[in-house]
Amino acid sequence: MKTARKFSKKCRILMAESNNSKILQSSFYEIDILEIGGHHKGKRGKDSENKQPTLLILSTLEDNNCPQYVKLHTLPNYKGEPIEEYLKEKCLFDPTIVINCDRDKAFFCLNKLAQLENSVVDYTKENHKLK
């Protein structure tokens, strides 16, 4: 257990350092909020005191296909303002760019940066949206 935790921590540090200076430039982005943390008793999922909200940004060559780069960024909360600030700093946007995300209300503020496509993916279907 200690080895896995130590390895996980080292991976997070390396990911943060390795891609922190790179500015993403793509026509399509996939974004989501992950909850990172161990298994603890108490509230599960979003707003759990045991989990760290982390923004995941994936740049792709095609809509929901051909991933290029990924960025991870820890968030102080589930509000849209820190997400918007980080994306403005680390990604290039224009009105033709598409951001694919789920229907989390934290992402609604991004519609002024690019075309926001909110959809929930049904993974039980054979040709679901995310490939």
Please report, for the chain, how many H helices and E strands are present, in that order: 2, 5
Q: What is the pLDDT of residues 32-80, one digit of tens each?
A: 988 877 666 666 666 666 778 889 898 888 877 788 888 888 888 888 8
Quote the CA–CA distance of 130 and 121 in Å, as a whole number: 7
Sign for the pseudo-dihedral over CA of 91, 97, 102, 103: positive
Reading the block at residue 53, the tokens are 């909200």
Q: In what order do the strands lie in the sheet with 115-118?
A: 65-74, 52-62, 28-36, 98-101, 115-118
Q: Give the model confidence (pLDDT) of 1-18 as tens digits.
A: 677 778 777 777 766 666
